[in-house]
């Protein structure tokens, strides 16, 4: 049975790889729409990047919806220093032949969840959670209709990648992350603690190129561009590949390990705003609200990614 997805995204090279991975598994995923948010880059670029990726994969039948241009509180923080001035630098992507849908992304989320049977839709979150949180605030009735959320978000053991204490997706909009985590919706979190184990080594990028199709080559070119920042930052043998952990978990959860714990978000700390506090050792009496993934099999992960990319044009 196909899993019906609403994808929240602000691509970003690693998110581009995640979206292509999802599109490469049409027997497992039914993509209802992409909701773009401001995050890695401004909203105009993220919507354009979504359209370009769908063009690349020959899936222009999927609609792209523009969501919120800024977080719920505070100024937008972006990451051009990692992803380049377009947010998706690296490959030469095809010209766009389609336009974004006229409906606002938040309205699309609300309408789609209301129209579907309760529990039928999974929210696949690759980005800050702004649009989902806004939908939940505007239409509280949709909360009980969400089947599951699977999100690339947060960190605890690996602390932060945009500040010393915060992971980027949560830091951009911690108020939104708090609303979502406090809503008692089944949620799986793929944090830096696992994504930092998934390194795009030269050998793995070479395997993407060897697929020989344009999506495989384009993915390799994207990751070769964005890895420059991380290689210098971490000094590892490859850059961590975050976004595809979300579809990989949905495709093959047994290659990951984690446990259900309480995850909270700091919204006020002068040095810790956007920090995710993962009660891994169950020290507090706070209610367990998330399945928190701690480890994963990198070889199996990249095998899945290559398998999905190979099915694309």
Q: Could you list the active site residues?
A: 242
Sign of CA dihedral 146, 150, 156, 160: negative
Annotate the chain with three-state secondary structure: CCEEEEEEECCCHHHHHHHHHHHCCCCCEEEEEEEECCCCCCHHHHHHHHHHHHHHCCCCCCCEEECCCCCCCCCCCCCHHHHCCCCCCCCCCCCCCCCCCCCCHHHHHHHHHHHCCCCCEEEEECCCCHHHHHHHHHCHHHHHHEEEEEEECCCCCCCCCCECCECHHHHHCHHHHHHHHCCCCCEEEECHHHHCCCEECHHHHHHHHHHCCHHHHHHHHHHHHHHHHHHHHHCCCCEECCCCHHHHHHHCHHHEEEEEECEEECCCCCCCCCCEEECCCCCCCCCCCEEEEEEECHHHHHHHHHHHHCCCC
| Residue among 26, 29, 27 at smallest CA distance from 246 | 29
Measured between alpha carbons, how far is residue 207 from residues 296, 308, 310 in Å?
A: 20, 13, 11
Q: Locate tokens 């696992």: which residue?
A: 194
């Amino acid at each position: 049975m196909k899993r019906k997805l609403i994808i929240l995204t602000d691509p970003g090279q690693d998110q581009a790889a995640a979206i292509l991975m999802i599109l490469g598994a049409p027997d497992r995923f039914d993509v209802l729409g992409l909701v773009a948010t401001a995050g890695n880059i401004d909203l105009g670029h993220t919507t354009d990047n979504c359209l370009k990726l769908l063009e690349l994969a020959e899936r222009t039948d999927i609609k792209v919806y523009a969501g919120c241009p800024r977080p719920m509180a505070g100024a937008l923080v972006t990451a051009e220093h990692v992803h380049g001035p377009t947010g998706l630098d690296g490959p030469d992507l095809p010209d766009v032949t389609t336009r974004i849908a006229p409906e606002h992304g938040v309205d699309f989320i609300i309408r789609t969840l209301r129209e579907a049977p309760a529990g039928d839709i999974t929210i696949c979150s690759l980005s800050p959670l702004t649009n989902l949180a806004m939908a939940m605030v505007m239409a509280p009735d949709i909360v009980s209709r969400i089947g599951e959320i699977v999100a690339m978000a947060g960190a605890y053991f690996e602390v932060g990648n945009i500040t010393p204490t915060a992971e980027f997706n949560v830091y951009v909009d911690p108020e939104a992350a708090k609303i979502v985590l406090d809503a008692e919706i089944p949620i799986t979190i793929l944090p830096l603690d696992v994504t930092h184990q998934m390194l795009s080594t030269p050998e793995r990028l070479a395997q993407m190129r060897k697929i020989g199709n344009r999506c495989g080559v384009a993915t390799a070119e994207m990751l070769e561009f964005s890895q420059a920042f991380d290689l210098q930052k971490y000094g590892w043998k490859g850059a961590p590949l975050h976004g595809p952990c979300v579809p990989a978990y949905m495709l093959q959860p047994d290659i990951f390990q984690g446990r259900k714990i309480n995850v909270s978000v700091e919204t006020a700390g002068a040095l810790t705003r956007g920090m995710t506090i993962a009660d891994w050792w169950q020290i507090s009496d706070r209610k367990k609200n998330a399945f928190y993934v701690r480890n994963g099999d990198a070889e199996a992960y990249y095998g899945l990614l290559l398998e999905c990319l190979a099915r694309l044009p």
